[in-house]
Amino acid sequence: MSGWASVLTVSRFTVVLVSVVLLAVSSFSPCVFGANFEPSYWLLDHPDGSNRQELSLSVSSSLYEYYVAKDHSLHYSLDLGKFVTPYALEPVADSLWTFYNDDENFANGVLMIVHQIPYAASTPQKYPVETIVAEEGDCDLFSFVAASILVAGGLDVVLLYYESERHMNVGVSLSHAPQDARSSVRYFVNNNVRYYVAETTGGDWENGWRVGEYPDSLVGASAQVITLEDAETVSPGQVSASFNGVSTSSITLSASPSWLMQGSAVVLSGVVSPVSSDGTVTLYVRSENSSWSVLATVPCGSNGQYSYEWTPDSAGSYFLRASWSGDLSHASADSNINSLRVMSSSLIFLGLILALLAVAAIIVYAVSRRVGKVPDYPVAQ
């Protein structure tokens, strides 16, 4: 093989080698979300006994993973308010207000809901979405769920913590004294406001505790009133809830390009189907060694399409996911995972320099071999 042929062959090999290395670096297997969790169903009775409804609830895996990754530490009792998440459970409250027209009835409807969740001791504390997915909890977890729905419904609520009894329930301020209580009404006063006791345990959703009623085990027990200034004001998504059942929905996500140099932008786009008036999409991101976090919340157009341009701060491997919270008619939906590789510009530059130096060395070597070769002259006869 001639020297120049060797140079061309080695040069082609170098280019192929660099391409393979870049492709291998940009390829990785993402950790994926599961599908939406199976819907939960809660039964509710109208106060006059004329109607019974079934509330269907759906939680997307992306919303569940978001709360699993949140801080669960508890340093003192006043921290308990951070586990109340009204925005995430607002669709539940909206559905209840279509069934009830009085704040006492609304509060008793919320108690019917938590009384249907099986009791199981749990540590540490969990956020309401986690409790709904697990379909079990104890007094504090039930109280977080109840308080979240009550606050989302516009009621003034506190947590009541009985330290000596190691128990928790909820206090609710109403527009009037409870009228459906079957015993003497109990309440606590904080800042001149009466908060009627709402006991969240019990298990008997049809005949369980109503607002104002008080378990005998708590007679004479003092309670610490925990206000909810630290309650979550917004979350990246919401559960979907409806009395009419919810239809499935879908959302797509594509990342273009799928790998890029540091400092460049990637366009994230997709479509929500069916098109909804609540066309807001949450984009999640995580790196290889971190948990999921919210990248952005973007609106959809009238055709359900959305788009977002993102410039990653640093090089590395990223996973991307889009989620739609659904509406009163449709369940929430998560897209498939998209992988993105951001290449460090300095490493790419260094790699190209090394490749060029290797090619130059090969050329020099081949030329020197050609120049130093002794000509093969014919021998005279």
pLDDT of 177: 96
Q: Above 70 in pLDDT, residue 34?
A: no
Q: Above 90 in pLDDT, residue 266?
A: yes
Which residues, 6 or more positions from 226, have their beta carbon under 8 angstroms from its beta carbon? 77, 78, 80, 81, 158, 159, 160, 161
Q: Above 70 in pLDDT, residue 350?
A: no
Nearest-angstrom CA–CA distance, 128 and 110: 13
Looking at the domain that runs over 40-226, which CATH code has it been given? 3.10.620
CB-facing half-sphere around the CA of 155: CA atoms within 13 A: 33
pLDDT of 5: 43
pLDDT of 116: 94
CB atoms within 10 A of CB 122: 16
CATH superfamily of 23-30+249-343: SOR catalytic domain (2.60.40.730)
Nearest-angstrom CA–CA distance, 85 and 46: 26
Inter-residue contact 42 to 114 (CB < 8 Å): no
Q: Above 80 in pLDDT, residue 4?
A: no
| Residue 220 CA, distance from chain mean position | 41
pLDDT of 379: 55
To the nearest whole number, what is the mean pLDDT of the chain? 84
CB-facing half-sphere around the CA of 275: CA atoms within 13 A: 7
Q: Which pTM value belongs to this model?
A: 0.76
pLDDT of 129: 96
pLDDT tens figures, 46-102: 877 778 899 988 899 999 999 999 999 988 777 899 999 999 999 999 999 999 999
Range in 158-172, 221-235, 237-251 the model is least confident about: 237-251
Nearest-angstrom CA–CA distance, 296 and 267: 13
Residue ranges per domain, the chain?
A: 23-30+249-343, 40-226
Radius of gyration, alpha carbons of the chain: 31
The pLDDT-based confidence of 361 (bands split at 50, 70, 90) is confident
